[in-house]
């Protein structure tokens, strides 16, 4: 080994210091072995993707290289003998160079991905189709009360509260398991909006006591009926985020796919109710480290640990065998990508200077179901006026099909404030609202809750925030009553909600009334209170349907034998008040 010159006097009179080659070689070997041990342990616990596009890969390399330098410093006893520090520096030269190389790669990669240079590319990471409000998309069209069965009536916090109550009712689960909220998922299960709440072990000791049987169930909350059920899993859930060692979900993914980058997993169930972890495979599509997007899925069977990999094309294919998967793209990722589109479509500097056409999402999002898919939706506002929206963004979480529906009105926060003002004396809080198309009227729908218990429902017009109504009964949140109250409020503003039955347009709510079609057999009239009232009897019917001239213009011109459609409230009386009569 070459001698190391060390100036002990500090006066330029260096002395040569030799470290015996055999000792130096042994110490180097020991440092390398210990570094390899650290590398294995760090990989086991840090679980980095071995991928130059992953930030955690660079952190991992830094830990390994630093560990070699530390072991070299310790093995040479340089902390006790400063004259050995040059030896440590010499032995650290290679790992330092390797670290600098990776730092340069990361630096260049960061610059190649920087928004200031690639703004236009970022804006094209998602394609958005523009529409007028009400056109075919993910917005739920409400033609009657039955259509509300397709939408979630509550938010994630209320669902979690229902799940915790259900968990508390099950003696065998009490104190052993808790809701694992970060991994809960809203899905469309057999046509019903459902939130799946996975469980996790309460702590390490509870894991130790229950690890043999695994987690026995998951909680499924019907977001329409607000019923929570504990669904028992045969054999137990043995692969989850709260497991340790080889059954930990992140470890299963990393050991099977060491180079893949993953998003946050979510628990979904297939049509048979079997639980699977849905894990987004992420790639950086702009430069080296920018433009996150989903390029595929890895599914992990929560019971057995079996893994299945799918490319994004196979996931979206019409003949895909995993159409039951609803969350291919997480809501956070879609929201980020839409903001890239809204902010940078005119370039980077336009997003700050001039801001022509720049728009961003409002602070919050929710979910709607349509055609067996789940859509993330959020309001969109202009950066120059964030007090009102200019439309809504709707993005399919399975296919990433995206729409922007134009409409001006209040933000979700404004609608929440309007709904809460109705119950200001009670102090109830509004859930994040859903936007619905109620007979052509853009409407925010939300629940009013007290400590995450639903007390009432509220509806607020998107375009006229002052038009707000709620279900009046404080003892029971009645949806029908809320809709009737909202209709009355809207009509007071001179707006008639439009319905349709058998091809005829009417302002009668087809979900609240019954209908009969038949030929007119008899017509009688009477003047009551100065107004003409018509009594119409249909063939093969013993009842008469009464309606005033002011309620139906067509009743005035009816003739015997005409075929009509009559809307009425169900009654067994001889004379039944009709709400509407139309010629068919």
At residue 387, the pLDDT reads 80
Contacts of 294 (CB under 8 A, 6+ apart): 263, 280, 281, 282, 283, 312, 328, 329, 333, 400
Q: Which of 141-150, 271-280, 465-474 has the lowest mean pLDDT?
A: 141-150
Separation in Å, CA 23 to CA 30, 66, 77, 89, 100: 10, 22, 12, 17, 29
Which pLDDT score is estimated for 1?
Answer: 46
Structure token pair of residue 448: 């009013």
Q: Which of 109-118, 491-500, 508-517 shows the highest mean pLDDT?
A: 109-118
Q: Residue 456's beta-bridge partner residues?
A: 448
The span from the first CA to the last CA of the chain, in angstroms, equals 105
Confidence of residue 10 (pLDDT cuts 50, 70, 90): low
Is 90 exceeded by the pLDDT of residue 5?
A: no
Q: Rounded CA gap, 566 and 537, in Å?
A: 11
Q: In this predicted structure, what is the pLDDT of residue 74?
A: 82
- Reported as a single tens digit per residue, the pLDDT across 429-446 is 999 999 988 877 889 999
Cα gap 538→520, rounded to integer Å:
5
**Alpha carbons 434 and 379: distance in angstroms, whole number:** 10
* HSE-CB for 331 with a 13 A CA cutoff: 21
Taking the C-alpha atoms of residue 122 and residue 119, their distance in angstroms, rounded to an integer, is: 5
> Which tens digit of pLDDT belongs to each residue from 540-572?
888 899 988 877 778 888 899 999 888 887 766
CB-side neighbour CA atoms (13 Å) of 92: 21
Is 301 or 86 the better-scoring residue by pLDDT? 301
Residue 21 has pLDDT above 90, yes or no: no
Please, which residues bridge with residue 500 across strands? Answer: 505
Provide the mean pLDDT of the chain.
Answer: 86
pLDDT average, residue stretch 96-106: 95
**What's the pTM?**
0.79
> d(Cα 362, Cα 346) in Å, to the nearest integer?
20
Task: Please state the rounded mean pLDDT for residues 181-206.
Answer: 90
Task: Give me 320's structure tokens.
Answer: 């895909």
> Which of 48-52, 83-87, 261-265 is the least confident region?
83-87
Q: pLDDT value at position 538?
A: 92
Please determine, for residue 82, whether its predicted confidence score (pLDDT) is greater than 50: yes
Cα–Cα distance between 334 and 360 in angstroms, integer? 13
Contact 418, 410 (CB under 8 A): yes
Give the distance from CA 277 to its chain's centroid.
16
CB 261 within 8 A of CB 282: yes
CATH 2.30.30.100 fits 513-583, yes or no: no
With 90 as the cut, is the pLDDT of residue 275 above it?
yes
**DSSP code of residue 321:** T
Residue 188 to residue 267: CA distance in whole angstroms: 13
Q: By the 8 A CB rule, do 333 and 362 touch?
A: no
Q: Report whether pLDDT(157) > 80.
A: yes
With H, G, I as helix, E, B as strand and everything else as coil, classify residue 310. Answer: strand
92-103 residues labelled b (16+ CB within 10 A) or e (exposed)? beebeeebeebe
The DSSP output letter for 508 is S
Q: Which two tokens stand for residue 545?
A: 């349907």
For the chain, what are the domain ranges? Answer: 4-112, 332-407, 412-492, 513-583
Q: Does the pLDDT at position 244 exceed 60?
A: yes
Cβ of 427: how many Cβ atoms within 10 Å?
8
Closest to 558 (Cα-Cα) out of 525, 538, 583, 530: 583
Q: What is the mean pLDDT of residues 275-280?
A: 96
Contact partners, residue 243, CB within 8 Å, separation at least 6: 207, 211, 249
Q: Which helix (H) or strand (E) holds 221?
A: strand 215-222
Residue spans of beta strands (DSSP E) within 238-351:
261-262, 266-269, 275-286, 290-301, 307-311
Burial, 455: exposed, middle or buried (Cβ in 10 Å; 0-12, 13-18, 19+)?
A: buried
What is residue 243's three-state secondary structure? Answer: coil
Q: Stretch 489-503: mean pLDDT, rounded?
A: 65
pLDDT band at 13 (very low <50, low <70, confident <90, very high): low
The dihedrals phi and psi of 497, each to the nearest 5 degrees, come to: -70, 140
User: How do residues 500-536 score in pLDDT, each as one tens digit?
Assistant: 555 555 555 555 677 888 899 999 998 887 788 999 9
Residue 196's region, left for phi above 0, alpha for psi from -120 to 50, else beta, is beta
Helix (H, G, I), strand (E, B) or coil at 325: coil
d(CA 67, CA 61): 10
Cβ atoms of 17 and 5 closer than 8 Å: yes
Specify the pLDDT at position 35: 93
What is each CA distance from 572 to 230, 517, 576, in whole angstroms?
Answer: 43, 17, 8
**Residues 521 and 538 sit within 8 Å (Cβ to Cβ):** yes
Strands 128-132 and 402-410: parallel
Q: Span 126-131, mean pLDDT?
A: 91
Taking residues 113-132, report their average pLDDT: 92
Can you give the C-alpha Rg of the chain in angstroms? 33
**What pLDDT does residue 57 have?**
96
- C-alpha–C-alpha distance, residues 376 and 535, integer Å: 50
CB atoms under 10 Å from CB of 354, counted, come to 11
Cα three-residue angle 104-107-110, rounded to 5 degrees = 150
What's the residue count for the chain?
584
User: Any idea which residue has 């506002």 for tokens?
Assistant: 381
Instruction: Give the pLDDT score at 553.
Output: 76
């Amino acid at each position: 080994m070459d001698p190391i010159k060390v100036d002990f006097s500090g006066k330029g009179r260096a002395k040569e210091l030799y470290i015996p080659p055999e000792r130096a070689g042994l110490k180097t070997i020991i440092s390398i072995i210990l570094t390899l041990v650290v590398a294995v342990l760090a990989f086991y616990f840090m679980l980095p993707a071995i991928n130059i596009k992953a930030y955690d890969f660079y952190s991992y390399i830094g830990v390994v290289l630093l560990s070699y330098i530390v072991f070299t410093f310790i093995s040479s006893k340089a902390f006790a003998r400063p004259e050995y520090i040059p030896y440590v520096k010499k032995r650290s030269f290679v790992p330092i160079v390797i670290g600098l190389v990776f730092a340069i790669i990361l630096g260049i990669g960061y610059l190649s991905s920087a928004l200031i240079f690639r703004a236009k590319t970022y804006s094209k990471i998602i394609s958005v189709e523009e529409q007028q409000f009400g056109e075919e998309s993910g917005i739920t069209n409400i033609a009657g009360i039955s259509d509300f069965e397709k939408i979630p009536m509550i938010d994630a916090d209320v669902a979690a509260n229902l799940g915790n109550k259900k968990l508390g009712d099950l003696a065998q689960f009490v104190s052993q398991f808790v809701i694992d909220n970060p991994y809960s998922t809203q899905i469309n299960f057999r046509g019903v909006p459902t939130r799946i709440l996975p469980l996790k072990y309460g702590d390490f000791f509870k894991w130790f006591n229950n690890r043999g049987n695994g987690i026995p169930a998951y909680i499924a909350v019907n977001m329409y009926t607000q019923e929570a059920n504990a669904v028992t899993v045969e054999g137990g859930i043995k692969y989850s985020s709260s497991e340790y060692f080889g059954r930990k979900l992140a470890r299963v993914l990393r050991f099977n796919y060491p180079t893949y980058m993953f998003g946050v997993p979510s628990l979904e169930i297939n049509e048979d109710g079997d639980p699977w972890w849905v894990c987004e495979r992420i790639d950086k599509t702009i430069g080296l480290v920018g433009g996150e997007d989903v390029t595929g899925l890895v599914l992990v069977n929560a019971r057995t640990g079996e893994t299945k990999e799918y490319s994004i094309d196979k996931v979206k294919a019409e003949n895909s065998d995993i159409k039951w998967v609803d969350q291919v793209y997480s809501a956070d990722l879609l929201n980020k990508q839409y903001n890239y589109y809204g902010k940078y479509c005119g370039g980077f500097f336009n997003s700050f200077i001039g801001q022509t056409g720049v728009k961003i999402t409002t602070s919050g999002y929710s979910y709607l179901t349509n055609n067996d898919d789940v859509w993330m939706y959020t309001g969109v506002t202009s950066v120059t006026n964030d007090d009102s929206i200019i439309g809504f963004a709707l993005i399919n979480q399975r296919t990433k099909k995206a729409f922007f529906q134009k409409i001006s009105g209040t933000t979700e926060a404004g609608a929440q404030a309007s709904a809460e003002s109705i119950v200001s004396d009670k102090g109830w809080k509004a859930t994040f609202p859903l936007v619905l198309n109620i007979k052509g009227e853009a409407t925010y729908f939300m629940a009013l809750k007290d400590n995450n218990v639903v007390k009432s429902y509220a509806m607020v017009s998107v375009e006229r925030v002052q038009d707000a109504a709620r279900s009046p009964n404080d003892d029971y949140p009645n949806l029908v009553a809320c809709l009737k109250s909202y209709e009355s409020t809207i009509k007071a503003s001179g707006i008639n909600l439009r319905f349709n039955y058998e091809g005829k347009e009417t302002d009668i709510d087809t979900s609240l009334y019954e209908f009969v079609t038949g030929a007119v057999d008899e017509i009688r009239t009477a003047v009551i209170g100065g107004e003409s009232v018509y009594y119409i009897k249909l063939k093969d019917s013993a009842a008469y349907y009464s309606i005033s001239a002011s309620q139906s213009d067509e009743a005035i011109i009816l003739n015997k034998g005409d075929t009509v459609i009559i809307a009425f409230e169900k009654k067994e009386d001889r004379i039944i008040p009709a709400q509407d009569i139309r010629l068919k």
